[in-house]
Amino acid sequence: MLRTSDSTDRAQNPPAAQQHPQARDGGTPARLLAQRGLFFGPTALVPEDLYSAVEKGTARRERDRVTLAPGARVSTNSYFGRFHATYWQRWTDVGEVEVSAVAAGSGRIRLMASDTNKVWRIVASCDVRDADATPVRLVGAIDRFVDGGGMWLEITTETGELTVSDVRWTVAATRPVPPTDVAICTFNRVDDCLNTLQALADDPGAQECVRTVYVVDQGSDPVESRERFAGIAEALGERLRYLRQRNLGGAGGFTRGMFHATEGAPEEHADVLFMDDDVLLEPEILVRLTAFAASTREPTIVGGQMLNLLHPGHLHISAEYADPEQLQMGLKVPGALREAYLLGEDERRLPVNQERRVDTEYNGWWSCLIPAAVVRAVGYPLPLFLQWDDIEYGYRARAHGFPTVSLPGAGVWHADFGWKDGDEWQRYFTIRNGLIMAALHSGFSVPKLTRRLGQLLSHQLVAMQYGMSATLLKAVEDFLHGPEALWDGSAGALAEVRKIRAEYPETVMHPMSEAQGDFRERQVVRAANEPGSETLTWLKRAAFHLAGRAVHRIGSVPAGDAHWWHVSTFERAIVTDMSEQGFRVRTRDKQTALELARRAAHTLRRFVREGPAVAARYRAEAGRLSSRENWARLYGMDD
């Protein structure tokens, strides 16, 4: 392991480039491992049916092998089990895939394929009789998958047992395989980070795809302080570089890994794979992302997908886009899956897969591989701290002609977004950075943006989210300050926002142990139907607030019912936090609401008047803010 104690130390030269498992003498390998055939997850905490399904009889599934009893059928037509051929045909020049395995016993192995409408067909088949560790080879052409479809294995037995192991999906290599560095950014999530590193350390095959693993620790509770760290460091050896630096958010942490991966001469640069610290890692993602990125026709950002950690059978989204002028991110591309239960079945008893190819516009940085060629062409991320940094970089690459592919079957489990409450300090960065994104990658329609900001503020004020309103106003005011607001890497804004929010009691989440008072006052009041006219409903709610009237004096509101038009009917609402770990108390305060409303009117007038000129300043400074020189300054390495 190489270690840098703080950000002022000069970066040591990374270890000599590790030879990719497919590379021969540093040249182009004959075959490239596209994915391994896995029948069970990295842990029993995730559903094994995401990998393989026992459709008939009984079978024993293990990580890299499956044993079928007589009269059984096992299919890998699943999220991790499929070879997503449609993405390979669209984005690479690979013409066929070869599936190799080792068979012991008697049975049949078929290579299956699907059309865009899920209709299956048999591509190749092999019967084995009384085999004893016999090699099996099946080949499928990647030639009928432009709009959708994939391939998988179907394994069956009749009168005997059959064990299939060491399944490898390989493709012909089209060029030398570039080295890949992994950048893991962490902040006081020590156990999560160690678990992620341990999963990688326990998988030598995945390790071989990596040159260097950068762990960028920005927290006050160091990862290296735990006993487990020493064992992990020993297992990863010289691949591991542990870096400490001040907290510059996800943007600053990830960029530090990119900074080192792309230092020196271009031929020494590595692709960089960003990885969140708080994921449940499927190490196979390293194999699949690096292989796909090494096969694309042109440099392509290749993103892994996010499955929900609390609900591990659900896929968050398979392809997304953003609408900066509405300050909205994570919008579903038409035809994409969103919050899909992958183990569900339709009327034909088929698993839920992304059958039709959908093309994304960016990929979140929970796991995302960015080629060195893209970095050289478009620069480094903006110092946005967090929120919109991954989106801005994806759209900037897109503007330079570099696509992003969100690759099915390459996924990690990440904390469910739906269980995160929107009334947090991160909301500041969502709004401020969304406005910066709009300045850089939209027409920056001041009327649209002003209407959207006004809508958010008006809803928050009647819903008694005064701290949220103050957070939003601070974000707009700092945007209007101009690109100078990013000069410290946005670190200063975090302390200011937390201080502002501490002045508003409804921003605090209380544990249920603090639920005191008459239980009858905590009666749950469910929301009625959505309003037919939001404008008329808001006017009515605002009039009630000004007049001191309320439909409900006090009551409890479930998280799923905490719509502005419902919470605004209370004088005092006890609202469940979206995390389901506690509650917040929103109490009507007419004076505070009026003060914030006056401030909002002033701020929005400023936005209308100054916004276009400020947006032009962001566009003018974007290149300097995302430069290597600026990041070197932020890291204290510009001496």
Count CB-CB contacts under 10 A for residue 184. Answer: 24
Residue 408's closest CA among 182, 200, 148?
A: 148
Give the span between the Cα atoms of 472 and 478, in whole angstroms: 10
Beta carbons of 432 and 473 less than 8 angstroms apart:
no
Residue 524 tokens, joined: 């749950």
User: Could you give the CA distance from residue 89 to residue 85 in angstroms, rounded to a whole number?
Assistant: 6
**DSSP letters spanning 507-531:** G--B-GGG--S-GGGG-B----SPP
Chain centroid to CA 560: 23
User: Strand ranges (DSSP E) for 115-161?
Assistant: 120-141, 151-156
How many residues can be counted in the chain? 639
* CA separation for the pair 276, 192 (Å, rounded): 10
CA 618 to CA 482: how far, in whole Å?
7
469-500 burial, b at 16+ Cβ within 10 Å, e below that, comes to bbbbbbbbbbbbebbebbeebbbebbeebeeb
Helical packing angle, 466-481 and 426-441, nearest 10°: 40
Write the CB contacts of 472 (distance below 8 Å, at least 6 apart in sequence). Answer: 427, 428, 431, 453, 456, 457, 460
CB 429 within 8 A of CB 385: yes
CA distances from 185 to 32, 288, 369, 630 (A): 29, 21, 14, 19
Amino acid at the residue 536: L
Specify whether 639 is catalytic.
no
Q: How many other C-beta atoms lie within 10 A of the C-beta of residue 120? A: 15
Q: Please, which residues have CB within 8 angstroms of residue 464's CB and are 6 or more apart in sequence?
A: 506, 567, 568, 570, 573, 586, 587, 588, 589, 593
Amino acid sitting at position 29: P
| Helix boundaries (H) for 336-490 | 372-378, 389-399, 426-441, 446-462, 466-481
Considering only CA atoms, which of 152, 157, 153, 110 is closest in space to residue 129? 157
Choice among 271, 390, 416, 577 that is catalytic: 390
Q: HEC string of 54-78?
A: EEECCEEECCCEEEECCCCEEECCC
CA 259/CA 261 separation, integer angstroms: 6
Residue 475 token pair = 């974000």
3-state SS class at 158: coil
Active site amino acids: 390
